Each structure stands twice: as structure tokens, then as C-alpha cells.
Amino acid sequence: MIFTYDDYAATAEFIRSHLEFTPRIGIILGSGLGPLADNIDNPTIIPYHDIPNWPQSTVWGHSGRLVIGTLEDQPVLVMQGRVHFYEGYSMQQVTFPVRVMQLLGIEVLILTNAAGGINTSFSAGDLMLIEDHINLLGHMGQNALMGPNDERLGERFPIFTYAYDPDLRRQVIALAEHENIPLQRGIYLCLSGPAFETPAEIRMFRAWGADAVGMSTAPEATVAVHGGMRVIGVSTITNIAIDHQAVRREVSHEEVLKIGAKAVPRLMKLLRGVVREL
């Protein structure tokens, strides 16, 4: 199914009809990070299944609702749960919510995710500010911007030199230093999943310059940049990716959720600071 401008506009209008104010900031919560939404004040909650054309999360660890309210007195729209390409959705469906946010007038999109650490200096539980991404999925023929381009949404050949807003990155780094929140920085590599990687793949991705791997975020960032939003990305390193068959450890979705949950207070502190300064 190909969505048109009118589909995005209709859903934006549906959401607007539930609100008394206009959110400026969008936040997408990744695996295990849903509890962050409990920090939103005066929330209006809209289940995804009530929203026209909105894709439904099928993965456990992702609830499916929009929580719209204030955080640090700033109006925010929080997606508690996202959908992934591996669930069988098209790239247009995966990124549908971002287009709707664009038409709602959201200016800054904060993307969070769970990721596997590739950089050997990372530990499970670390937070990583995304400095740039490798959208492998996109460049293998699954780019969210493929298909007819509607100039009202963005240009045909958008520039991606500064996908993750440099000023906002500087702001996040300064804030983390000021508040003593340990923060790694690195390159996020987006794969389709749902299979975890082989050790040979992990070694190759490391050689490419990736610091973390995951199954989301890059498609959403791609559409957000195309749509003129400023993007911030933060990964929770929920596990260290296995780079050799002799490593006697296994990664699991349970572990991803458990370590993700542990990082919630630190990530919340960081997000509060970021939102306060926007």
C-alpha cells in the first residue's frame, strides 16, 4: 500500500482533534524503553489501534500507544512502541508515524533504540549518542524514500551529511557531561533482523566503522531528515554483539529487554535535560 499526503494529513488531523496543544517534540521509544512514557505529565493516551493507518506493534516489549503530554513543561508526543521492517511492514508503514509527526508540526524527533555493541570499548548498559548511521537496509534497496516523491513532504534527493543534527549533538554531549551521565558516541548500523548477526558479520561491520547494530531507527531518521525535522538518536547498548564463535555467551530478546529496562533511569535523565533545553 502506498500512502499519499492525504493519508498522512488525515491521521495528523485525527490526532490533532484529541489535543489542546501542538507538540513540538516527538520521541520514539525502543525495545524495553517503554516505561519512559510514564514520566509524561497530563497525558492524552491514544492506542495505536484507534489511529487510522497506524501500524500495530507485534513484538513483545513494545506496547502500542501514543502518549501526548508535557515533559519538563515542553509539549511532547511519545510513541510507546514502534514497528520494524522485520515484522513484515513496508518501509512506508514503518515510517508512517514520522510523516504524521511532520504534518503535526513536530520540529525535533528523538529516536531511541536497543542496540548490540560492536565497539570493543562498550559495555552492556551503556548509552550511545548516534553521531551518524549506516543505513544498510536502505542502501540494499529498502530505502523509506523510494517510490513517488511528493515535493510537499521533501525533495527527491535529500542530503544526508548531517542526518543527526550537529548542534543538538553538541547540546546532548554538554548536558551529559554537566549531569555526569556516561555517554558513548558512535555509528549505528541498521539491519533488517530479525535474525541476530553471525560473528563474521559483526567483524565485518566493525571493519566498516560501525559501533552498534540494530533493527530500527535509520528508516525513521531518513524520513525525518527528508521532512526537515532535526533528529537526535540515542542507543541503549543492551548486549555486546558476539564477534567470535569461541565466545560462550548468547544474546536474547529477553536480555535486550532486561538491560534496556535498567538503562531507563539514566536515559530518562538525559532526555529530560535535552527536552528542557530545546
**Nearest residue to ligand HPA on Cβ basis:** 116
- The residue type found at 57 is S
Query: Exposure string (b/e) for 167-201, b if CB count within 10 Å is 16 or more?
Result: ebbebbeebbeeeeeebbbbbbbbbebeebbeeee
Rounded distance between C-alpha atoms, residue 90 and residue 99, angstroms: 14
Choosing from 11, 95, 119, 239, the residue that interacts with ligand HPA (CB under 6 A) is: 239
Rounded distance between C-alpha atoms, residue 261 and residue 146, angstroms: 35
Rounded distance between C-alpha atoms, residue 257 and residue 35, angstroms: 11
Identify whether 49 is a catalytic site residue. no
Closest approach, Cβ 72 to ligand HPA, in A, equals 28
Per CB under 6 A, does 184 bind ligand HPA? no
Rounded distance between C-alpha atoms, residue 99 and residue 24, angstroms: 14
Identify whether 86 is a catalytic site residue. yes
Closest approach, Cβ 258 to ligand HPA, in A, equals 12
Q: Which is nearer to ligand HPA, 68 or 115 (CB)?
A: 115
Q: Is the dihedral angle over the CA atoms 108, 229, 6, 27 positive or is it negative?
A: negative
Per CB under 6 A, does 116 bind ligand HPA? yes
Rounded distance between C-alpha atoms, residue 25 and residue 47, angstroms: 19
Identify whether 188 is a catalytic site residue. no
Identify whether 63 is a catalytic site residue. no
Q: Which of residues 188-217 bind ligand HPA (CB under 6 A)?
A: 196-197, 213-215
Closest approach, Cβ 272 to ligand HPA, in A, equals 24
* Residues noted as catalytic: 31, 62, 84, 86-87, 114, 215-216, 239, 253
Residues that bind ligand HPA (CB under 6 A): 114-116, 196-197, 213-215, 238-239, 241, 251, 256
